[in-house]
């Protein structure tokens, strides 16, 4: 009766291996155990007591694999993408993994066919370094922002502007965040931006108009996240994280509902346990969430990714010369691509995905990281006190990311370490050594079994998260000639993209 879930997992793995299952796959396969509809907690005895089971007799337990969408680790460079003439500063896959956006110091944004590793569009018009790019969760548009404070929204099919540039920021834009598809009255339309000018602004991607500004910080704002519960989270050099309740409709505004304090230095980045759910919107890659953020059996795949591809194709056909890059002649009149609304089927799929997440994982959890070498775990929907302070890094923590299933979190530090944390309690699980330079970014595989990291040492590494949550380095991705600034793992799971100071992009696959 005192058996733990770890002991039950070991028993199931041994039985399955004896029945012919591959040992390597079973060793990293987590399982969930259920007594009726109740998931087992820390031990079988505690679950039986909570369920009121006291009499002796036969107890029937069910188990399910928690990683039904299994990703193969990337091991080799399949393509080097040339085109940028200055360091690549950021890269991001589209929600369905078909497209890749990259931006950098050459003032351009480049859109690539991720499946063929071929250029699609070169988007020009920025007058300074382009620092970040982000796809809308329906995959129909992507936004880019530069050091001059300008934001541009591009059509993913044509590479042309969707609306006039957004120019109300007075200093460079540090981050972009789209409103999740399920959350707003106009899905795929609202975009938030944070800036060194101390403000956060919310825009309409339909016409480029600023809808409202979120104020409250006394220093530059370094990060913004738009959560799934109608909240916007911002992090600043003033050492605070603000939580805004954002309204909907034409007269919408945002108000501060919580001020989260605890860091002793600037806050560099934020991560939400719902990031993957909000990012992929109506796309469905076969993963389902169970209680406590653990993933159970997958439902039938939803057709939303195909719907998105069809809408993108239709948009391209509707614009003359649909593959023409953005106009490079500043004197020529700008031709805007019409704003195509998100398909209703995709919005419905996004709502179902969000409800599934909420039913299993509960409220969103937030992580913040700082130059004070700590992370803080919050439950910002309901409390302004931290759940835990996460210590272990010896220098500034530059980036953090929750695993897609929300069970784990990874952090990248200037101390050359990647650390793995429990996503619910904040407990340090392991420290992963291997990089010989500062680690800039981390990115999770969509099945939460692998993690990639990018470093100043000119390499990226792929780590395996094994049973017991011990991180093991699987592969070092060599090939770049300088620091690796940009990293993303495709939501489809089949490839990783890296971007470097050496002005190249690389695609990595199994």
Same domain, 273 and 361: yes
CA distance 217 to 234: 9
CA distance 422 to 430: 10
Q: What is the residue whose two structure tokens read 């600023």?
A: 210
Phi, psi for residue 279 in degrees, rounded to 5:
-70, -40
CA distance 234 to 258: 11
| Domain assignment of residue 469, yes or no | yes
What residues make up the domain containing 85?
Answer: 76-283+357-509
Q: Of 16, 40, 65, at which residue does a domain stop?
A: 65
Same domain, 369 and 427: yes
Q: Of 30, 65, 100, at which residue does a domain stop?
A: 65
Kind and range of the H or E run holding 279: helix 275-280
Count how many domains the chain has: 2
| pLDDT per residue as tens, the chain (510 positions) | 567 767 777 888 788 778 876 655 555 566 767 676 566 665 677 777 777 776 566 777 777 666 555 788 899 999 999 999 999 999 999 999 999 999 999 999 999 999 999 999 999 999 999 999 999 999 999 999 999 999 999 999 999 999 999 999 999 999 999 999 999 888 999 999 999 999 999 999 999 999 999 999 999 999 999 999 999 999 999 999 999 999 887 788 999 999 999 999 999 999 999 999 999 988 866 444 434 444 433 333 333 344 334 433 433 343 333 333 343 454 556 789 999 889 999 999 999 999 988 888 889 999 999 999 999 999 999 999 999 999 999 999 999 999 999 999 999 999 999 999 999 999 999 999 999 999 999 999 999 999 999 999 999 999 998 665 578 889 999 999 999 999 999 999 999 999 999 999 999 998
Look at residue 39 in the predicted model and tell me its pLDDT: 61
Look at residue 399 in the predicted model and tell me its pLDDT: 98
Same domain, 450 and 400: yes
Give one DSSP letter per residue of 281-334, joined into a string: TT---S-EE-GGG-EE---PPPTHHHHHHHHHHHHHHHSTTTTPPPP--TTSPP
CB atoms within 10 A of CB 126: 22
Q: Of 21, 36, 65, at which residue does a domain stop?
A: 65
Same domain, 30 and 90: no
Kind and range of the H or E run holding 398: strand 397-402
* Strand order, beta sheet including 388-390: 267-272, 366-370, 375-378, 388-390
Strand partners, 147: none
Same domain, 405 and 257: yes
Same domain, 456 and 381: yes
Longest dimension (CA), the chain: 84
Same domain, 115 and 259: yes
Same domain, 207 and 107: yes
Q: Distance from CA of residue 362 to its chain's centroid?
A: 18
| Tokens describing residue 224 | 């913004």
| Tokens describing residue 394 | 């010896």
Q: Kindly report the CATH number assigned to the domain that includes residue 176.
A: 2.130.10.10
CA distance 506 to 358: 36
Q: DSSP code of 163? A: S
Same domain, 46 and 82: no
Look at residue 1 in the predicted model and tell me its pLDDT: 58
| Domain assignment of residue 341, yes or no | no
Q: How far apart are the first and last CA of the chain?
A: 42
77 exposure class (CB count in 10 Å sphere: 0-12, 13-18, 19+): middle
| Domain assignment of residue 435, yes or no | yes
Same domain, 138 and 222: yes
| Domain assignment of residue 9, yes or no | yes
| Domain assignment of residue 390, yes or no | yes
Of 353, 444, 452, nearest to 407 by C-alpha is 444
Count of all residues that appear for the chain in the document: 510
| Domain assignment of residue 476, yes or no | yes
Same domain, 249 and 383: yes
| Domain assignment of residue 351, yes or no | no
| Domain assignment of residue 302, yes or no | no
């Amino acid at each position: 009766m005192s058996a733990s879930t770890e002991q039950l997992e070991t028993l199931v793995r041994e039985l399955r291996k004896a029945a012919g299952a591959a040992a390597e796959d079973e060793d990293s396969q987590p399982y969930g155990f259920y007594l009726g509809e109740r998931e087992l907690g820390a031990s079988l005895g505690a679950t039986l007591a909570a369920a009121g089971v006291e009499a002796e007799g036969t107890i029937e337990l069910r188990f399910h694999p928690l990683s039904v969408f299994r990703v193969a680790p990337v091991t080799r460079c399949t393509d080097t993408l040339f085109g940028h003439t200055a360091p690549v500063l950021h890269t991001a896959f589209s929600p369905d993994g078909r497209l890749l956006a990259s931006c950098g110091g050459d003032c351009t944004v480049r859109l690539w066919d991720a499946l063929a590793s071929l250029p699609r569009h070169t988007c020009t018009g920025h007058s300074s370094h382009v620092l970040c790019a982000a796809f809308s969760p329906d995959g129909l548009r992507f936004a880019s922002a530069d050091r001059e404070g300008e934001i541009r929204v591009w059509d993913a099919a044509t590479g042309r502007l969707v609306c006039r540039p957004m120019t109300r920021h007075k200093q460079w834009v540090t981050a972009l965040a789209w409103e999740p598809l399920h959350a707003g009255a106009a899905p795929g339309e609202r975009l938030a931006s944070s800036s060194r000018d101390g403000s956060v602004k919310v825009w309409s991607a339909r016409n480029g108009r600023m809808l409202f500004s979120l104020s409250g910080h006394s220093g530059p704002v370094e990060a913004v996240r738009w959560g799934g519960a109608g909240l916007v989270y911002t992090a600043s050099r003033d050492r605070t994280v603000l939580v805004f309740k954002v309204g909907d409709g034409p007269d919408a505004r945002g108000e501060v509902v919580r001020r989260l304090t605890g860091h002793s230095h600037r806050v560099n980045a934020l991560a939400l346990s719902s990031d993957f759910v909000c990012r992929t919107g109506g796309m469905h890659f076969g993963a389902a969430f169970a209680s406590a953020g653990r993933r159970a059996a997958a439902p039938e795949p939803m057709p939303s990714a195909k719907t998105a591809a069809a809408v993108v194709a239709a948009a391209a056909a509707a614009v003359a010369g649909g593959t023409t890059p953005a106009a490079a002649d500043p004197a020529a009149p700008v031709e805007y691509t019409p704003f195509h609304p998100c398909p209703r089927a995709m919005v419905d799929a996004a709502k179902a995905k969000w409800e599934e997440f909420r039913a299993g994982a509960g409220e969103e959890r937030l992580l913040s990281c700082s130059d004070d070498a700590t992370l803080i775990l919050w439950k910002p929907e309901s409390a302004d006190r931290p759940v835990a302070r996460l210590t272990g890094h010896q220098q500034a923590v530059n980036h953090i990311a929750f695993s897609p299933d929300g069970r784990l979190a990874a952090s990248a530090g200037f101390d050359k370490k990647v650390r793995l944390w429990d996503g619910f309690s904040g407990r340090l699980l392991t420290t992963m050594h291997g990089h010989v330079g500062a680690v800039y970014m981390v990115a999770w595989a969509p099945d939460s079994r692998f993690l990639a990291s990018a470093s100043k040492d000119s390499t990226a590494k792929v780590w395996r998260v094994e049973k017991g949550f011990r991180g093991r380095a699987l592969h070092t991705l060599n090939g770049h000639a300088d620091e690796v600034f940009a990293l993303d793992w495709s939501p489809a799971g089949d490839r990783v993209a890296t971007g470097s100071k050496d002005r190249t992009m690389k695609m990595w696959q199994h």
